[in-house]
Amino acid sequence: MSVRHPGVSTDDCPVREILDRVGDKWSVPIVVLLGERGHRFNELHRRIDGISQRMLTLTLRTLARDGLVSRTVHASVPPRVDYELTELGRTLLVPVRALDEWAREHRDDIRAARQRHDAG
Amino acid sequence: MSVRHPGVSTDDCPVREILDRVGDKWSVPIVVLLGERGHRFNELHRRIDGISQRMLTLTLRTLARDGLVSRTVHASVPPRVDYELTELGRTLLVPVRALDEWAREHRDDIRAARQRHDAG
DNA sequence: GGGGTTACTAACAATAGGTAACCTAGGAGC
DNA sequence: GCTCCTAGGTTACCTATTGTTAGTAACCCC
């Protein structure tokens, strides 16, 4: 814990705080789809390959808690719940898309590096 | 698995692939410090608050496998190992910094939203 | 009463991450 | 000659978190 070399603690590293929220398995796919347009629960469930109902519930709940997603219940029958990005959620879309673009550009580089590594 | 509504599967979502690598607890702090300059093993160990030797080893190993970090062993006594970002690793710094900037700008919004949520 | 919609819970499995002890090799102290 | 120190790990073991499957509830339409 040097003072001259200030280190990276969780407290003074906001990006870690964000990745703790958004770096989980499902937040980014949800945010990306909601960035496209609002979705209903089962609509998300159908479009996100492999997600379980439980994880969709939990992840939407966390995103709503953090003010990134809004949840609107319509008192209709059958019940209907719409999820959308909030203003804050839409701003998050910008760096997420930057990461997405990087990923698309460099996924082959990473795969190649991994193969070189595993072979050599 | 609708065909008309192409969903987000892990296969066609490169950003998920990246977050599976880099969304863990320690990769980003390491990449950020190495973006500053090259570091030796124990230098990283000292500057990253709370990381264990084991996790530092494991994370550096994965980053090296994916071609993001280079590892140079000097055959001296005591041994000396330098870690640096590769060219690929330096390009990753760009979107990571975008996320970092977002995090710094909006951490208060998220904290406020969470408090509102937990209170209400 | 069967089925679609939204959601919750319990029970369980897999993974991530932490702790602590040990290894290597040479040099210093004694 | 023996012990301890250092840098950079490895190994074994344990727990906490994450995620899965499956089952249930409630609601109302047909």
pLDDT, tens digit (0-9, with 9 covering 90-100), for A75-108: 776 778 999 999 999 999 999 999 989 999 999 9
Instruction: Give the model's pLDDT for residue A119.
Output: 85
Percent share of chain A, pLDDT over 70: 89
Q: At residue B12, does pLDDT exceed 80?
A: no
Cβ of A91 within 8 Å of Cβ of B102? The answer is yes
Instruction: Give the model's pLDDT for residue B8.
Output: 65
A120 near B CB under 8 A: no
Cα–Cα dist A49/B3, whole Å: 12
Instruction: Give the model's pLDDT for residue A4.
Output: 42
Rg (CA), chain B: 18
Q: At residue B96, does pLDDT exceed 70?
A: yes
CB of B78 lies under 7 Å from some atom of strand D: yes
Average pLDDT over residues A60-83: 89
User: In terms of C-beta distances under 8 Å and separation of at least 24 residues, what long-range contacts does B43-52 make, across chains too?
Assistant: B44/B83, B46/A2, B46/A5, B46/A7, B47/A2, B47/A5, B47/A6, B47/A7, B47/A8, B48/A7, B48/A8, B49/A1, B49/A7, B49/A8, B49/A9, B49/A10, B50/A9, B50/A10, B51/B26
Average pLDDT over residues A16-33: 88
Residues in chain B: 120
Chain-wide mean pLDDT for chain A? 87
Cα–Cα dist B117/B115, whole Å: 5
Phi then psi for A71, rounded to 5 degrees?
A: -125, 120
CB of B81 lies under 7 Å from some atom of strand D: yes
pLDDT, tens digit (0-9, with 9 covering 90-100), for B39-80: 999 999 999 999 999 999 999 999 999 999 999 999 888 889
A19 and B23 Cβ atoms separated by less than 8 Å:
yes
For residue B17, the chain A residues in CB contact (below 8 A) are: 103, 107, 110
A 3-42 residues with CB below 8 A of B? 5-10, 13-19, 21-25, 28-29, 32-33
* Interatomic CA–C1' length for residue B56 and nucleotide C1, angstroms: 60
Choose between B107 and A3: higher pLDDT: B107
- Full set of structural domains in chain B with CATH: 14-119 (1.10.10.10)
CB of A50 lies under 7 Å from some atom of strand D: yes
